[in-house]
Every structure is written in C-alpha cells, then in structure tokens.
C-alpha cells in the first residue's frame, strides 16, 4: 500500500447524510468498478476504509458516501471540506468490473444507496456502451432526495433512448411519476421493473450486476434464481455478479 497525500477539491451535498467527495488525485490505470483505500489520521492513528470510485477513468477520484453513525471513518470525512487533506492509496483494487462480465447482450445494473457509485463510474466510460445493446440501471433508495447523480443518469437516458433505461425506485414515500414505488426484489417479482425498462430479465443474453446492502443482494438473487439466473463464477459462468456494501 502506497499512501499519497491529497486534498478535497469538491464536496457535493445530495441530501442530509449523503455526499460526494472529489479529491485532487487522478488515479492511474483505474478500471471503472474498482475501489480505493482512503485514510485520515485520527487520534494518533491512521484510520482507513475502502470506497468505490464514482469517477471516470483518468478523472480526479470521486467517492459517493452515506453517513454511518458510529462508523470509524465516514463521520470524520463528512466533517471535512474543500481544501482539507486526506490520504489515498493510489493503487486501485477490486474485480467488480466489466472485464469479468461474460458475453451478454443486456446488462442490468441494480443498486441500493451508495452502491450506485461503481455504476456511475462504468457509465462514464466507453466500454459499457460498446459492449451491450441494452443497459438498465435500477437504483433503490428510501426518498427521492437520495437519488444521487439523477440528473447525470436521466441525461444519459435522453442521450441513449434506445440503449439505456434509468429506473429509480422509492420505498419510504410516494415517488414522482418518473420513478417506481417499492423495493427492487418485489419490483422484479411483479414485473414492474421490466415493464418500465421495456426489457425482459431472463437468462438468455442477460447479465446482472448487484451492488448495495446485503439484504437486497440476497433477496434479488433468490428472485432471479427462480428464473434460472445464477451467480457467475470464473470456473462456472453464470448471470449475476455481486458487490456487497457492508
């Protein structure tokens, strides 16, 4: 691990307890979907945690963060502002990348909360648009205010109307007309997600990337297993790749 001192270049507040931090460091040889270790010196010790990158390759490192009360590092990061220093390990890590996705026509990106981050990074690149004929991003949150990057994603949907569908899902309040109401597992079971995306979620030609809280990951995998979609493994190709967020 090689720590590099950097500074916060930008701090975006999406909602109470939800921010993006952009640091000055541009990550070399970064593959969208990977993560970096971030650290702060607190009470005489360097406290670190891994955060997925939400930036595009070659851009300054950006992290999409939610406040976790009692967390070892995130609450301290929320107290930092533009110009404040932090430590970043400049070696990107992780295998939750398109490189390890088998050949497929349709790519489903299903996220809850800040699990959206690596998908934002992927959508900022070129590979995803060249590889897949249809891409669906479904983002589950409690409230509409928690839909970070919504303008970017809606813009991509307008730019690629036949290739990309952005489907927000709200669980704790009535959604706006452009979003669905309910949790992702139930929206798959009911067919509502597929209806909004105008694409069937079936084993033939599909691959699913899941990123977010463990409950969503396990429930969605169980629902998809009923349709014949199974977890992808290097020695046993499947239809589902998973990244847990705690």
The predicted-structure confidence for 58-77, as pLDDT tens digits, reads as follows: 899 999 999 988 888 999 99
Q: Stretch 83-95: mean pLDDT, rounded?
A: 95
Question: Cβ(159)–Cβ(138) under 8 Å?
Answer: no
Give the pLDDT score at 14: 97
Nearest to 96 by CA among 139, 50, 142: 50
Residue 246 is predicted with a pLDDT of 63
Give domain limits for the chain. Answer: 3-89, 98-244
In the sheet that 164-170 helps form, which strands lie side by side, from edge to edge? 180-181, 164-170, 134-141, 106-112, 206-212, 240-244
What is the CATH code for 98-244?
3.40.50.80
Instruction: State the average pLDDT over residues 44-54.
Output: 96
CATH number for the segment(s) 3-89:
2.40.30.10
Quote the pLDDT of residue 57.
Answer: 84
Span 127-131, average pLDDT: 97
Q: Do 92 and 30 meet the contact criterion of CB atoms below 8 Å apart?
A: yes
Q: For the whole model, what pTM was predicted?
A: 0.96
Query: From the CB of residue 59, how many other CB atoms can be counted at a distance below 10 Å?
Result: 15
């Amino acid at each position: 691990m090689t720590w590099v001192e950097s500074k916060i270049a930008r701090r975006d507040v999406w909602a109470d307890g939800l921010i993006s931090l952009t640091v000055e460091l541009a990550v070399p040889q970064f593959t969208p979907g990977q993560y970096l270790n971030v650290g702060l010196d607190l009470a005489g010790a360097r406290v670190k945690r891994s955060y997925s990158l939400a930036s595009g390759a070659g851009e300054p490192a950006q992290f999409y963060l939610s406040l976790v009360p009692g967390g070892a590092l995130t609450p301290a990061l929320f107290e930092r502002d533009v110009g404040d220093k932090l430590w970043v390990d400049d070696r990107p890590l992780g295998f939750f990348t398109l490189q390890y996705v088998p050949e497929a026509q349709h790519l489903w990106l299903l996220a809850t909360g800040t699990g959206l981050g690596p998908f934002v990074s992927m959508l900022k690149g070129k590979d995803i648009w060249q590889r897949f004929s249809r891409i669906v991003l479904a983002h589950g949150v409690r409230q509409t205010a928690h839909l970070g990057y919504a303008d970017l994603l809606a813009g991509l949907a307008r730019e690629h109307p036949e290739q990309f569908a952005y489907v927000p899902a709200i669980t704790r309040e009535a959604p706006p007309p452009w979003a669905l109401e309910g949790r992702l597992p139930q929206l798959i079971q009911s067919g509502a997600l597929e209806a909004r995306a105008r694409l069937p979620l079936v084993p033939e030609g599909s691959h699913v990337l899941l990123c977010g809280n463990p409950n969503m990951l396990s429930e969605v995998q169980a629902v998809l297993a009923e349709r014949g979609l199974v977890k992808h493994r290097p020695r046993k190709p499947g239809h589902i790749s998973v990244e847990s967020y705690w």
